[in-house]
Amino acid sequence: MAYIEDTGNNDARTEGMSYGMMMCVQLDMKPEFDRLWKWSKKYMFMTEGDNEGYFAWSCRVTGEKNAYGPAPDGEEFFAMALFFASARWGDGEGIFNYSREARELLHACIHKGENGRPGAPMWNHDNKLILFGPGCDFTDASYHLPHFYTLFAERAYEEDREFWEAAAAASREYLAKACHPVSGMNPEYGEFDGSPMSRKLSWMTEPHDRFFSDSYRTAANIGLDYEWFGVDAGQCAGAARLRDFLDPGKADICAVYDVDGTPLGEPAKHPLGLISATAQSALAAGKDDKRAAEWAERFWNEPMRTGKYRYYDNCLYMFALLALSGNYRIY
């Protein structure tokens, strides 16, 4: 078995484990993929309680669960990586029957709470938007992966495919609303209408209605979605506004902002992540977009991060490198 450690928090997260699996299938690293998946199933997967069928979002590196709640971005990356593994390497036995594992996971994500099954789904059935967590009444723009949902609509259980097709369309429309009309920035947590979620919840220790760490991934997701499927519901313009608002030629571009672009005087916790994700959004740019080329060049000249916070930055760096080189592929 194997795990990927969040070096900033000294734990293993479904985010990082599923990211690692996606990297492995893209790089044709089956043994490493299987080791990560085996660790995830052994230590993170929950078999009882309201969250049975989901994965605990954080574990100690020794395997003990830090929490018994899931984070939906992990589930959707697990499912997509498993479908790609099935297509690239073929299904095996048990937990290595990748496509079955993916279908079962997606089925749980949208059907928990039905027919006496405990818990709550990870998607809102009325508006088809992914939730910050099961049963939550708000979302996280960086969780919206319409390019994944388009593929889920082809590969999930037959009864679930119509839902995923609708979810892809709903997420593209949501992203267009979530990106600020001037800055192109989106909040970490958002209301269903695309506005920042500024309500204070009991477990929150800091505000999440600003452009900060989670938010960076949204531009990258918009870029890859357009690269794969070429569908623009207005979200591509949001990413373009972000590339224009931030100056790739400035060394100090990385800071924390209100979504209207007002700097809040704090350094970015993950500067390489912001640069990488913004550069990846260039995949949604037109051929004459000089700003997109500037961002790609800025990314290319950035070194990978070292030190305590290298985990998140280098994950986004790796995805951008795959995507911008044409090697983040559908299998």
Indicate which residues carry an active-site annotation: 15, 214
> Residue 186 — φ and ψ, nearest 5°?
-125, 150
Joined together, the tokens standing for residue 66 give 């830090």
Cα–Cα distance measured from residue 98 to residue 84, given in angstroms and rounded to the nearest whole number: 9
Please report where in the chains the tokens 């669960």 appear, as a residue. 65
Helices (H), 40-160: 72-89, 98-111, 146-155
Joined together, the tokens standing for residue 31 give 């043994």
Joined together, the tokens standing for residue 257 give 């902002």
Could you please report the per-residue DSSP string of 148-188? HHHHHHHHS-GGGHHHHHHHHHHHHHHHHHHS-TTT----S
Note whether 271 and 256 are within 8 A (CB): no
**Cα angle vertex 252, ends 143, 224, to 5°?**
30
The DSSP call for residue 303 is P
Cα–Cα distance measured from residue 84 to residue 102, given in angstroms and rounded to the nearest whole number: 10
Cα–Cα distance measured from residue 194 to residue 175, given in angstroms and rounded to the nearest whole number: 7
Note whether 187 and 197 are within 8 A (CB): yes
Joined together, the tokens standing for residue 211 give 């452009």
